Amino acid sequence: MAANPFLKQASGRAERILRSATASRWLARAVFNRSDQLQQRLGEAAEQLKMLARMLLDWTTGRYRQVPWATLLTITGALVYFLMPLDAIPDPIIGLGLLDDMGVLAKAWQFSRQDIERYQRWRDRQEDPE
């Protein structure tokens, strides 16, 4: 696969965002909002995006810190890419615009699967009253 300059740009932004709790919280909230707006077009991917945003938010607030740096960069880069309206396939192109975003999300999910599953188990224990 040829290098995607937009993905490279998203990765660079991800590193800068992770250095700022304010920027990290802003990114997570923006992903929640955009996922809600595009719920019908995204289907199940909307929930995956929200899970990654929750993971980032819990890391940022210090609630969950067991995330390797590579995973943080991967998921943050994927979230940034999702929010970029003009990327490899611009989002305004109906039917195709989110296709590349979903590809980046799928790759990020695949790369980070074990860490995401560990986070999901931790999160389930936090919400379980027992």
* pTM for this model (two decimals): 0.82
pLDDT confidence band for 121 (50 / 70 / 90): very high
Torsion-angle region of residue 57: left (phi > 0), alpha (psi -120 to 50) or beta?
A: alpha
* Token output for 34: 């955009």
Mean pLDDT along residues 56-76? 93
Q: Residues 20-52: pLDDT tens digits?
A: 999 999 999 999 998 898 888 778 888 999 999
| Structural contact between residues 108 and 75, judged by C-beta atoms closer than 8 angstroms | yes
Query: What's the confidence (pLDDT) of residue 83?
Result: 82
Mean pLDDT along residues 81-89? 65
What's the rounded Cα separation, in Å, for the pair 60 and 79?
15
Q: Which residue has the tokens 């590579």?
A: 70
State yes or no: pLDDT of 87 exceeds 90: no
